[in-house]
Amino acid sequence: MSDATAADTLPTQSARAARRVRVNKSALVMAAYLIFLMLPIYWLLNMSLKTNTEILNDFTLVPNQLTFANYATILTDPAWYMGYVNSLIYVVMNTVISLTVALPAAYAFSRYHFMGDKHLFFWLLTNRMAPPAVFALPFFQLYSSVGLFDTHIAVALAHCLFNVPLAVWILEGFMRGVPKEIDETAYIDGYSFGRFFVKIFMPLIASGIGVAAFFCFMFSWVELLLSRTLTTVDAKPIAAIMTRTQGASGIDWGVLAAAGILTIVPGALVIWFVRNYIAKGFALGRV
Amino acid sequence: MDKTVNHKAWFLVLPVLILVAFSAVIPLMTVVNYSVQDTFGQNEFFWAGLEWFEEMLASDRMWDALGRQLMFSGIILLIEVPLGIFVALNMPKSGFWASFCLVVMSLPLLIPWNVVGTIWQIFGRVDIGLLGYTLDLIGVDYNYTQDTFAAWVTIIVMDVWHWTSLVALLAYAGLKSIPDAYYQAAKIDQASRWKVFRFIELPKMMGVLMIAVLLRFMDSFMIYTEPFVVTGGGPGNATTLLSIDLVKMALGQFDLGPAAAFSIMYFLVILLISWVFYTVMTNLDKKGM
């Protein structure tokens, strides 16, 4: 009797042990990967909390004299913090514009066949794939000639080049998942298109809108080439202001590191809210 | 889903068309315009025909940059795609640790690109960077500003650091969509781990992996900011990729004609490759993957 139980439990135990070993191996791989990801960021954070003398003279893994002076420099000097404000202004403008035009278009693509729809869809994709370097000079001339140079709206419109196609793609993917019967029932119930879209349809794809907004935010926030080309003073983004640290007395490493850390913060904050949808968004709604 | 034919849907697409026309077509026309004209300044232009295209096609400069670009994109795809799949296979499937991994992994994706460059520029410095200092300490001769090989290793490791998570996230999403029944069936058939991967996980991930490869290829093909911040295209021209070369030509030297011809050919290459990917992707969609 006891033998039988022992024989019964033995393989289970070994299986459990094997599973534990496998889980541990996975955990090990993940830990190694996450450490690889975090090391450069840790180093930047470490540097941002040091004085320049310490950065240049001692090699320390944690700051000897903890200082927040680098952050204070940025947060008290308008020339610095206005960079963040400028970046945020054009990023938000871009997100709003992109979503407003992308929503009806994505609905059309997800629900109807119309003349040239496939070509149009592909053409939109090609804009996402257009190298910003190709557009830098013509954008500069276009926005200068219409008097929008060095304004937030110019950068916001320029970023539409790659964000609108992306938003259309993501939203179309999410809208595809909503059964068409809902539209038909609403029309039978006497809803107009506008009312149906805002009152019924948009809440249904709220997560899709969130993800699309997140991606517009993200790609507008990380882009530098176009935003730097289109601005000089009034709408200069933080990423371009960072090059200011190269002064006559060499580079102010501490402030540079602090500015870098502060650009990571907004992304880190919003990412928590969309963590479960990130992959679906990157797959353009096609998972 | 069955779609109804409705040509009035064009009105819904109209705002996008107008906006994209303003932000893409008009600038692109400017480029085409420059590519067939020459100027002596003072806004006097005259017709140059296809001269610039011939000049660019005959010059080594563009071909060298294209060669470096293909090498860069090839290497990072070869590293990032297998590594991303490997990471995705090892990710926890649910619970707090899954969310934790997702958030930490997405972090590099949300860092402005020039900050990514700055981070690695600092990280690799022998005097103040952790990586450079450690390598120096263990006796590796590492200097990314002077040594071509070190510069290449730096920008490749930087790109792997920056974008592998994207591939991993996509592969992870693909993995999660596989129903448990598939794994149970495999268990009954006593399939090996490799066979499970080869015949269940890989085919099911194919759709998202195509997107991952497409995005990674395109983005690496037009990469500008990160390598520019780290190496400035140097040492010499060793890391001058297509976009870096183009910006140098257009905004640095203001050679509008050649730069425009360069742009158009650059864009056509990208267009061609996108079209191939798009066709493959829609075919996969049709097969229901």
Contact B10 A114 (CB under 8 A): yes
| Residue from A56, A121, A134, A145 to probe the interface with B (highest B Cβ count within 10 Å) | A134
- List, as one string, the DSSP characters of B56-104: HHH-HHHHHHHHHHHHHHHHHHHHHHHHHHHHHHHS--SSHHHHHHHHH
Give ipTM to 2 decimals. 0.82
Cα–Cα distances in angstroms (integers) from residue A104 to residues A158, B258, B287, in the given order: 21, 40, 28
Nearest chain B residue to A285 by CA: give it: B208
Residues of chain B with C-beta less than 8 angstroms from the C-beta of A239: 112-115
Spacing of C-alpha B141 from chain mean position: 30
Q: Name the residue of chain A whose CA is nearest to B223's CA.
A: A131
Distance from CA of B8 to the nearest CA of A (A): 8
Each residue's pLDDT tens digit, B41-88: 656 666 767 777 777 777 777 888 888 998 999 999 999 999 999 999
User: Hey, is the C-beta of B106 within 8 angstroms of any chain A C-beta?
Assistant: yes
Q: Is the CB of A25 less than 8 angstroms away from the CB of B90? A: yes
Cis peptide before B235 (omega within 30 of 0): yes
For A129, nearest residue in chain B (alpha carbons): B218
Ordered structural domains, chain B, with CATH: 59-286 (1.10.3720.10)
- Distance from C-alpha of B256 to C-alpha of B236, rounded to nearest angstrom: 23
Cβ–Cβ gap A164/B19 under 8 Å: yes
The proportion of chain A whose per-residue pLDDT surpasses 90, expressed as a percent, equals 11
Q: Where are the alpha helices (DSSP H) in chain B?
A: 10-20, 26-35, 51-58, 60-90, 96-106, 113-123, 130-137, 148-176, 180-188, 193-196, 202-221, 225-231, 242-247, 256-286
Give B158 or A166, the one with higher predicted confidence.
B158
Give the distance from residue B139's alpha carbon to the nearest chain A alpha carbon, in angstroms. 17
List residues bridging with A80 in a β-sheet.
none
- Taking the C-alpha atoms of residue A103 and residue A112, their distance in angstroms, rounded to an integer, is 14
Does A107 contact B12 at a Cβ distance shorter than 8 Å? Answer: yes
Give the pLDDT band (50/70/90) at residue A279.
Answer: low
Per residue in B229-284, pLDDT (tens digit) is 888 777 878 888 888 888 887 777 777 778 888 888 888 888 888 788 778 877 77
Residues 6+ apart with CB under 8 A from B181: none
Residue at A206: amino acid letter: A
Determine the distance in angstroms separating the CA of B54 from the nearest CA of chain A, rounded to an integer.
Answer: 19
CB-nearest partner of B23 from A120, A158, A221: A158
Contact B127 A56 (CB under 8 A): yes
Q: Which of A139, A224, A282 sits opposite B225 (nearest CB)?
A: A224
- For residue A58, the tally of other CB atoms under 10 A from its CB is 11
pLDDT at B92: 86
Closest CA in chain B for residue A32: B87
Evaluate if residue A6 carries a pLDDT over 50: no
